[in-house]
Amino acid sequence: MIKAVFPGSFDPITLGHVDIIERALPLFDEIIVAIGINAEKKYMWSLDDRKAFLEKTFAREPKIKVATYTGLTAEFCKKVKARYILRGLRNTSDFAYEQTIAQANDNAFGVDSMFLMGSPEMSYISSTVVRDIARHGGDYSSFVPPGVQ
């Protein structure tokens, strides 16, 4: 079974995340959408809410599992026997950042990374943009799956 972990804080999940996950489904037998927990980071949505958003979004897709973890993503991959980390890229800045992490994960843990470019119509969407709109009372519904409010 070929497994991948798609890690993130998902604060909140966006249509950009959904785009990458759905396009990656034919590549893997299972994708574990994994919420990384960082006690030092302040989140806008609670862990329970973020997990519920993910579970609701992918409820009809048996190849997608939702999990939470602490610590290094590559160690979580080893724990769940995932050979790959799946990452979405919006632009060259994302690639420059992700490349270094991917090389370290491969070298230190033997976990390879697979990158998918975000679809052009989704590449401007980020959780940061959604949080900023939400903080100011704006309508962010066109950037997130139904039920993320």
Look up 90 and say whether it is catalytic.
Answer: yes
Cβ-based neighbours of 52, under 8 Å, separated by 6 or more: none
Look up 136 and say whether it is catalytic.
Answer: no
Strand order in 112-117's β-sheet? 64-69, 30-36, 3-8, 84-89, 112-117
Pick the catalytic residue from 50, 87, 113, 127: 127
Pick the catalytic residue from 3, 50, 87, 90: 90
Look up 17 and say whether it is catalytic.
Answer: yes
* Whether 112 contacts 82, CB under 8 Å: no
Token output for 62: 């048996």
Pick the catalytic residue from 3, 17, 50, 87: 17
Catalytic residues: 17, 41, 90, 127
